[in-house]
Amino acid sequence: MIKTPTILVVEDSETQALALRQVLEGHGYDVEVSTSAEAALERLNGRLPDMVVADFHLPGMDGGELSRQIRLNSRTRALPLLMLTSAREHDLERQGLESGVDAYVSKSADTELLLVRLQGLLRRSSAVGPVDPSSGFRRARILLTNPSTTARLRLRNLLEHEGYEVVELTDDEDVLRQAGHDTDCVILSLVGADLEGLELCNRLRARRESLPADFQIVAIGPGADRPDRLARAFAAGADEVAGGDDSDDVVRVRIRALMRRKIIIEDSRRALEAEARAAAAAELAAANLQLREAQAQLVQSAKMASLGELVAGIAHEINNPLAFILGHQDTVERLMRQVQAELPADGPASLVLAKAEDRLGAMHLGLQRIQSLVLNLRKFSRLDDADKQQLDVADAIETVLVLLAPKLCGIEVRRQFGARGKLEGSSALLNQVVMNIVANAADAMGGSGVIAVSTSDVDGIYHIDIADSGPGVPEDLRDRIFEPFFTTKAVGHGTGLGLAIAYGVVKAHGGEINVGVSPDLGGALFTLTLPQGGV
């Protein structure tokens, strides 16, 4: 859905505001109207319009100062601003462009020209990113104190015309109480040869340093701009000094420069604070991730250690009676051969003994399979054997596949061990990685399909590829499946640690683990690349 642009019209004439609203709404724009620059600035504290169209001649703050205020605020800085002037005011265009106006249109110009300029400015502003909603717009607040009523009135009119919020005070204690974080500037008077007012200036400086607050101090008085008095005023804490006979333009420009510098400093501080918050959030996220990974490692290590003890105990208990049976089987076979040698070859007893001998052979094969399984269990149980050694990866993978045989029932397992060299590392770690990936593949396929395991080595890099014909890993989850405790399995069917442990093991040994789509089987493809220096 295309958003309708909103235009804020700032016009004190109800007739001209209504005419402009009708033109703009007739061409599909949403229009809001403010009757003064001050009201427009208050409006800009809310949801920002897409553009501002303002009359240059406004009551109080004029269009040039409105433009400066908009450009000094980080939230409204990129807002397009079109100024309306009379046909003969060509000199205002130069002043306005210097203050930040984007374009000028004469009120007597054709409607088409106005619309073309609007469209051009809106088109340019569409490339600007979102604004910071935390940087609100407010008028600068100035405390004004002066014993002369005439001087206060003159300065108040001057400052309010610039768009500042002015608070007149006559008591020094009131000035000190109100000077704080919500104050942008304090303008005080220096009177007489002794520069009465320096004490207030010193007290304001002390208050500013104790808060700390950012308000500026401006001292104004007859002869205050003489070199000897300037030094005393600046030493007392004044940020700017103006003589009592300075023109309004001089005072206006100096205060404007102070406010501009203060706003820029505040924007810079906010930017630094935002960067610091972002850095702290990133550091916290990294620490949280490390904590989760460490927790996952501890859980998995405890789990594997318990499993290792259990497997080692079972292997030991099976191995003892197995050795006993195998030892006696040899004795039984030898005695049967002796008895068979003493009997007639074609007698009924010899036939029975031959049949029994065949059964003993079958029993021997079964016992050998049990013996091989016990050997694999004992290999897998050596989880504390973390010392690096030359690993026969194919043999280690076969060990894992044997142990996972019940889980792989109904699944075709393809092997292609093309690696020529051996991998230096820990068999326990390799067992964990391969077992977690193969077990996940078996779960994903639901008891039927194909799992292909292959190895290769190129230029000192060892590759282990584990592919399956299952549904694969959705692209939007490929970055998350290695997160600790993230799982797509139903509650109670997975801890979300298997792939996190595999990822941590491989990363800790300078390798990479990636997931993609198998070009042959169509399911997931896990690729492990490890330096031959080890796992």
Are 110 and 200 part of one and the same domain?
no
Are 231 and 329 part of one and the same domain?
no
Are 55 and 105 part of one and the same domain?
yes
| 51-55/423-425 β-pairing | unpaired
Beta-carbon contacts of 433 under 8 Å, excluding residues fewer than 6 positions away, are 501, 502, 505, 506, 528, 535
Share above pLDDT 90 across residues of the chain, in percent, rounded to a whole number = 15
* Greater model confidence, 309 or 366: 366
CA-wise closest residue to 367 among 415, 395, 330, 341: 330
Are 521 and 417 part of one and the same domain?
yes
Are 171 and 99 part of one and the same domain?
no
CA-wise closest residue to 436 among 508, 515, 521: 515
Average pLDDT rounded to a whole number, residues 251-274: 76
Number of domains in the chain: 4
Least confident of 326-340, 357-371, 480-494: 480-494
User: What gap in Å lies between CA 87 and CA 224, rounded to an integer?
Assistant: 43
User: What gap in Å lies between CA 43 and CA 52, rounded to an integer?
Assistant: 11
Are 474 and 347 part of one and the same domain?
no
Are 291 and 221 part of one and the same domain?
no
pLDDT at residue 1 greater than cutoff 60: no
Task: With respect to residue 343, please indicate whether it lies within any of the assigned structural domains.
Answer: yes
Task: With respect to residue 310, please indicate whether it lies within any of the assigned structural domains.
Answer: yes
- 376, amino acid identity: N
Are 71 and 91 part of one and the same domain?
yes
Whole-number pLDDT of residue 110: 82
Task: With respect to residue 292, please indicate whether it lies within any of the assigned structural domains.
Answer: yes
Beta-carbon contacts of 41 under 8 Å, excluding residues fewer than 6 positions away, are 66, 69, 70, 137, 138, 139, 163
Instruction: Provide the strand spans (E) within 279-410.
Output: 389-391
Paired tokens of 437: 């990936």
User: What gap in Å lies between CA 53 and CA 40, rounded to an integer?
Assistant: 11
Confidence of residue 298 (pLDDT cuts 50, 70, 90): low
Are 338 and 412 part of one and the same domain?
no
Average pLDDT rounded to a whole number, residues 362-378: 71
Least confident of 21-30, 126-135, 191-200, 312-321: 126-135
User: What gap in Å lies between CA 137 and CA 35, rounded to an integer?
Assistant: 18
pLDDT at residue 295 greater than cutoff 50: yes
Are 393 and 525 part of one and the same domain?
yes
Least confident of 272-281, 332-341, 401-410, 518-527: 332-341
Q: If 0-12 CB within 10 Å is exposed, 13-18 middle and 19+ buried, where does residue 108 land?
A: exposed
What 3-state class would DSSP assign to 183?
A: coil
Whole-number pLDDT of residue 132: 54
Whole-number pLDDT of residue 399: 82
Task: With respect to residue 257, please indicate whether it lies within any of the assigned structural domains.
Answer: no
Share above pLDDT 70 across residues of the chain, in percent, rounded to a whole number = 80
* Count of beta carbons in the 10 Å neighbourhood of residue 249: 9
Task: With respect to residue 63, please indicate whether it lies within any of the assigned structural domains.
Answer: yes
| Mean pLDDT of the chain, nearest integer | 79
* Greater model confidence, 430 or 467: 467
Q: If 0-12 CB within 10 Å is exposed, 13-18 middle and 19+ buried, where does residue 214 land?
A: middle
User: What gap in Å lies between CA 298 and CA 292, rounded to an integer?
Assistant: 10
Average pLDDT rounded to a whole number, residues 270-298: 78
Kindly report, residue by residue over 175-216, the tens digit of the pLDDT. 999 998 788 899 999 877 667 888 999 999 899 888 877 788
Q: Which helix H or strand E contains 363, and what residues bound it? A: helix 348-380
pLDDT at residue 384 greater than cutoff 50: no
Average pLDDT rounded to a whole number, residues 311-328: 72
Confidence of residue 11 (pLDDT cuts 50, 70, 90): very high
Whole-number pLDDT of residue 74: 74
The DSSP result for 44-111, as a single string, is: TTSS--SEEEEES--SSS-HHHHHHHHHHSTTTTT--EEEEE-TT-HHHHHHHHHHT--EEEETTS-H
* Residue 118's CATH number: 3.40.50.2300
Task: With respect to residue 53, please indicate whether it lies within any of the assigned structural domains.
Answer: yes
User: CA separation (Å) from 298 to 10, 291, 306, 380?
Assistant: 65, 10, 12, 19
Least confident of 8-12, 330-334, 527-531: 330-334
Counting runs of H as helices and runs of E as strands, what totals does the chain give?
Answer: 14, 17
pLDDT at residue 445 greater than cutoff 80: yes
Task: With respect to residue 62, please indicate whether it lies within any of the assigned structural domains.
Answer: yes
CA-wise closest residue to 34 among 63, 5, 77, 75: 63
- Which one of 347, 380, 413 terminates a domain? 380
- Which one of 328, 348, 380 terminates a domain? 380
User: What gap in Å lies between CA 257 and CA 251, rounded to an integer?
Assistant: 10
Confidence of residue 228 (pLDDT cuts 50, 70, 90): confident
* Count of beta carbons in the 10 Å neighbourhood of residue 51: 21
* Residue 477's CATH number: 3.30.565.10
Task: Return the ∠ at Cα 91 (arms to 88 and 97), rounded to 5°.
Answer: 120
Domain coverage including residue 21? 6-125
Task: With respect to residue 510, please indicate whether it lies within any of the assigned structural domains.
Answer: yes
Are 394 and 526 part of one and the same domain?
yes
Torsional sign, CA 162, 164, 168, 169: negative
Are 147 and 196 part of one and the same domain?
yes
- 91, amino acid identity: D
Give the CB-side neighbour count of residue 91, counting CA atoms within 13 A: 0
What DSSP designation does 2 have?
P
CA dihedral defined by 9, 14, 15, 17, rounded to 10 degrees? 10
Paired tokens of 12: 């004190």
Q: For residues 532 and 421, is the Cβ–Cβ distance under 8 A?
A: yes
Confidence of residue 497 (pLDDT cuts 50, 70, 90): low
